[in-house]
Structure 1
Amino acid sequence: MEALFNEWLWQERYWLPPGIGWKDTEMKEDEGHFPLPRDLICTLPLALVFIVLRFVFERIIAIPLSRFLGVKDRIQIQVSPVPELEAFYKYKSRRPSKSEVVGLVKQCDLTERKIQTWFKNRRNQDRPSKTKKFCEESWKFAFYLIAFTAGLSSLINTSWLWDQKECWRGYPKQPVSDTHYWYYMLEMGFYLSLILTFSRDVKRKDSKWQLMHHITTVFLIAFSYCANYVRVGLLVMLLHDSSDYILELAKMFHYAVWKRTSESLFVVFAVVFLVTRLVVLPCRLIHTTLLVSMEFYQPFFGYYFFNALLLVLQVLHIIWGRDIVRMAFKFLFSGKIEGDERSDTESEDDEEGEGGDAEDEENRMNSKLTPLANDSVLNNLTNQRSVNNRLPKAR
């Protein structure tokens, strides 16, 4: 198996520039550590450790913190058990069509309205609570903040942080320090843990994009390590962590209904995100991997594959950046932020749970009708019902 692996996958032309072989990358013990694929094996147990740490963190730190900040869960209506409807809900559809509702009426001897209400309450019953959402975001906030702080402190004195040409000087024979090695392993282990727990996490409007982002990130980290694109990889990870922890903190305060704090943090996040992901990343890092790197070596398979992954990541950033700009315009014209369209807007079921809830719907309608409520003409139309009956046109 090892011979087959070395023959088909671990070929020099895939991982090294033309004219350079594996012997050229060998280092003595005093020269440092050269990244090897077997180093990545430890990321899987690290992912399992992260899952356990998350479980402990949420119960010991996140839940008490949510209560301290005032996170309150809405009371959910428990539906009465109806075996026919429960079976249809689990095995066929959570949103029956009108014809399916008519068929269920015959089976359950209930009215269409009662069946529709049952399905709505049943969906809301499965809706994740605000406490669960808060715990998920607080865990991500803790990791991103620690990762950004540790990454910045380890890179602040490196030459390639300030001059990206240094990323390629001496490539591919570039040693990796123990600090940067563990930074790489922990980042990859964390994203692997997010993929493993994806099915149990809160489903959001952009969950598919988030999953694609996590998978792309894992491939990007793994391949960049094997091809010794470690220096550029460190800069890309640091750039991402610089805005992610701000977004998670804004979501935490959003669930705690600290409106002004949440909106202020969202504005800060929007600025940092747009600058780092749509300006610095393409103009500095992608530019150096696409163009500057060719001043030091000729392109090879790893060059094309790594840049392709970076471009996929950049497309996702453009999609999220569009949504963030849309939110910024809403904030400028309405004076408030209704939600983070990048990842805080939940999926369709969640929207019904929060947006379709009767109390929320009433509050939204009241806020929209408040200016009209002071209109004397509207008051006359609503108070004088006898006049409305005689004047259908005015009604």
Structure 2
Amino acid sequence: VLSKETDMSIRQVERWFRIRRNQHRTPVFKKYLDSSWRGVFYFVIFWYGLYLHLDKPWFYDTLYMWKGWPHHHVSEDIYWYYMVEGAFYISLLFSLFTDHKRKDFSQMVIHHVATLLLMMLSWISNFVRVGTLVLVIHDAVDSWMEFGKVAKYLGYDRVCEVFFYIFMLVWIITRMIIFPFRIIRSTLFEALGEDCLNDATVGWLTMYSVYNMLLCVLQVLHIIWFYYICLVAKDAFKGQVQKDSRSSLESESESDGEKSQGSTENNGRSKKEQAVSSVNGVIRTRAKPAS
């Protein structure tokens, strides 16, 4: 029908709708740039954070996160590490509203807000030793995810698969084993065993409870994302890995957008008339120079 009303071939009408649809997509080059700088930051900040903790006793024994609390001195290197990480997560939170829309948008907002609240509470209540370990654990996995996206955008599918396997392995070790069984276990049980919450510190009980709740919120998100990772891993064994866990959500979001856009364009006479008017406008615009 559109072909007859606009004097265009069916192929030209299809091409016009394809161009119009792609105008709402985020360019691959922009995704490549976003993933590149985030991947480099995560990689550098992880190894820097790991280096800072090599001489810290609580890195090897979590009991030292609570011995002597709340009278823990914050060294200058830990201070700047915390400030840089805090600024980075603030930028990530704002970028969620400016970057391309993701299907896991709500989970990412919850994750970044919970992380920033954890950093703020740990700074106020001097749980900095816990906070630094949480940051190192989280930064360990994110660089592999971003590098996998970069490989996908460049068309290196085999490299993307390698990064995905590394990403999945590191995720299991850090977020499914170390984080719940060392960090959360320590905050729930070792803190009480060290008699940190005594009569002198009873005023911090509410903040301590909120802190533990936020750590558990992060772990719930880890489990949800791990479910998506397992779905991608299932395809990986079939030789279909071209996406990492959360970039697959982005792709699904785009495809959902295309479907909804297509259904809107075909829904009702008024929508069709708008499309005809738009196509005719393009034809007239192109026809003017020729006349």
Please say whether Structure 1 and Structure 2 have the same fold, judged by a TM-score greater than 0.5: yes
Structure 2 equivalent of residue 291 of structure 1: 189
Give the alignment partner of residue 154 of structure 1, picking from 38, 52, 58: 52
The alignment partner of 1:176 has SS state of: coil
Conserved in 2, the CA contact under 8 Å of 1:124 and 1:352? no
Conserved in 1, the CA contact under 8 Å of 2:148 and 2:159? yes
Query: Displacement, 1:345?
Result: 3.1
Query: Displacement, 1:123?
Result: 2.9
Query: Displacement, 1:353?
Result: 8.2
Give the alignment partner of residue 88 of structure 2, picking from 190, 193, 198: 190
Structure 1 equivalent of residue 34 of structure 2: 136
* In 2, Cα distance between equivalents of 1:295 and 1:115: 71
The alignment partner of 1:160 has SS state of: helix
Structure 1 equivalent of residue 233 of structure 2: 328
* In 2, Cα distance between equivalents of 1:131 and 1:235: 34
The alignment partner of 2:97 has SS state of: helix
Conserved in 2, the CA contact under 8 Å of 1:123 and 1:353? no
Conserved in 2, the CA contact under 8 Å of 1:263 and 1:336? no
1:180-233 Cα offsets, whole Å, 9 max, x none, are: 001111111001111222222122221221122111111111111111110010
Matched, 1:337 2:244: no
Query: Displacement, 1:348?
Result: 5.3
Structure 2 equivalent of residue 308 of structure 1: 213
Query: Displacement, 1:335?
Result: 1.8
Higher mean C-alpha deviation, range 189-198 or range 338-347: 338-347
* CA distance 1:145–1:174, shift in 2 (3 Å): same
* In 2, Cα distance between equivalents of 1:171 and 1:288: 14
Conserved in 1, the CA contact under 8 Å of 2:157 and 2:242? no
Matched, 1:346 2:250: yes
The alignment partner of 2:175 has SS state of: helix
TM-score normalised by structure 1 residue count: 0.58
The alignment partner of 1:317 has SS state of: helix
* In 1, Cα distance between equivalents of 2:109 and 2:181: 26
Conserved in 1, the CA contact under 8 Å of 2:232 and 2:244? yes
Structure 2 equivalent of residue 257 of structure 1: 155
* In 1, Cα distance between equivalents of 2:259 and 2:159: 22
The alignment partner of 1:291 has SS state of: helix
Give the alignment partner of residue 116 of structure 2, picking from 218, 223, 229: 218
The alignment partner of 2:169 has SS state of: helix
Conserved in 2, the CA contact under 8 Å of 1:220 and 1:306? yes
Conserved in 2, the CA contact under 8 Å of 1:141 and 1:244? yes
* In 1, Cα distance between equivalents of 2:129 and 2:253: 42
Conserved in 2, the CA contact under 8 Å of 1:134 and 1:251? yes
* In 2, Cα distance between equivalents of 1:348 and 1:326: 13
Structure 2: where are the runs of 5+ without partners?
261-291
Conserved in 1, the CA contact under 8 Å of 2:228 and 2:246? yes
Structure 2 equivalent of residue 181 of structure 1: 79
* CA distance 1:126–1:242, shift in 2 (3 Å): same
* CA distance 1:339–1:117, shift in 2 (3 Å): same
Structure 1: where are the runs of 5+ without partners?
1-104, 357-395
TM-score normalised by structure 2 residue count: 0.78
* In 2, Cα distance between equivalents of 1:228 and 1:177: 12
Conserved in 2, the CA contact under 8 Å of 1:331 and 1:337? yes
Give the alignment partner of residue 246 of structure 1, picking from 115, 140, 144: 144
Report the AA paired with residue 311 of structure 1: C
Conserved in 1, the CA contact under 8 Å of 2:147 and 2:163? yes
Report the AA paired with residue 239 of structure 1: I
Query: Displacement, 1:157?
Result: 1.3
* CA distance 1:195–1:176, shift in 2 (3 Å): same
Give the alignment partner of residue 172 of structure 1, picking from 53, 56, 70: 70
What does 1:75-90 correspond to in 2, within 5 Å?
Answer: none
* In 2, Cα distance between equivalents of 1:349 and 1:146: 30
Conserved in 2, the CA contact under 8 Å of 1:206 and 1:343? no
